[in-house]
Amino acid sequence: MITVWGGQTSRSIRVVWVLEEMGLPYRLKQVDMLADEQDPAFLAVNPANYIPAIQDGDVVMIESIAIMEYLMARYGPTPLAPAPHDPAFPAYQQFLHLGEAGLATLLMPVVVSRFLAPAAERENWGASWCLQAFQKRLKLVSGRLAVSPYLAGEMFTAADISVTYALNLAQRNCGVTLGDAEQAYLARTTGRDAYRRAMARSFEGVDT
């Protein structure tokens, strides 16, 4: 059984969403990243103390996109991951990684400045720069959605799972206003049954 260590509104939703799309059994353990003390069992899995992480038999993995790629490769094939010879593959690969490396990562300084920094440090140059860089890179998503319903093309893939998390985070916690095309796109991706199940599981509580 795959164990996912995650949190309710964290990047673990990407992992749980992939598991739900693929119909794989898993159990979910909630980690409170703001707690003063962390569960030693979790720290044994990820001594760097961040989520998501998975345990699958002897395999331990950290980093949401890497975990998604592992699950799709180990338990696929799945339409979530187009094969390398598929014409959709280059765009798939690009947007799968853009979602974290190019978008969500830039939002972390914005989130911690807004919600965790001392009042005097909330408005800071670094966080403003990150937000501007995010807006610039968002043009890649908007341009793609102007010509296709999903980021890899006609079909929903894991690239959409990756980028949907980043767009939701931007809207929810960073004051970013998305355009009509991006809103319609989010309605398409988050309207999927597997997303609804993943959200329900993530908010359900702790699996033993």
Ligand X SMILES: N[C@@H](CCC(=O)N[C@@H](CS)C(=O)NCC(=O)O)C(=O)O
Answer yes or no whether residue 202 interacts with ligand X by CB under 6 A. no
Answer yes or no whether residue 21 interacts with ligand X by CB under 6 A. no
Answer yes or no whether residue 39 interacts with ligand X by CB under 6 A. no
Q: Tokens 């939701």: give the residue.
A: 168
What is the full DSSP assignment across 70-89?
HHHHHH---TTS--TTSTTH
Which residues, numbered 56-95, are part of the site for ligand X (CB under 6 A)? Answer: 63-65
Q: How far apart are CA 13 and CA 10, in angstroms?
A: 6
Candidates 11, 29, 144, 201; binder of ligand X (CB under 6 A) is 11
Kindly tell me which of 52 and 102 has the beta carbon lying closer to ligand X: 52
Give, rounded to a whole angstrom, the gap between the first and last alpha carbons of the chain: 12
Q: How far apart are CA 55 and CA 117, in angstroms?
A: 33
Candidates 51, 151, 166, 198; binder of ligand X (CB under 6 A) is 51
Answer yes or no whether residue 50 interacts with ligand X by CB under 6 A. yes
Dihedral sign computed on CA atoms, order 44, 45, 48, 50: negative
Q: State the amino acid at position 155 in one-letter form.
A: M
Please identify, among the stretches 46-54, 149-157, 171-179, 187-195, the one whose residues bind ligand X according to the rule CB under 6 A: 46-54
CB of 111 to ligand X, least distance (A): 9
Q: How far apart are CA 105 and CA 97, in angstroms?
A: 11
Please identify, among the stretches 21-29, 49-57, 90-98, 198-206, the one whose residues bind ligand X according to the rule CB under 6 A: 49-57
Q: Please report, as ranges, the residues that interact with ligand X according to CB under 6 A.
A: 10-11, 33, 50-52, 63-65, 100, 108
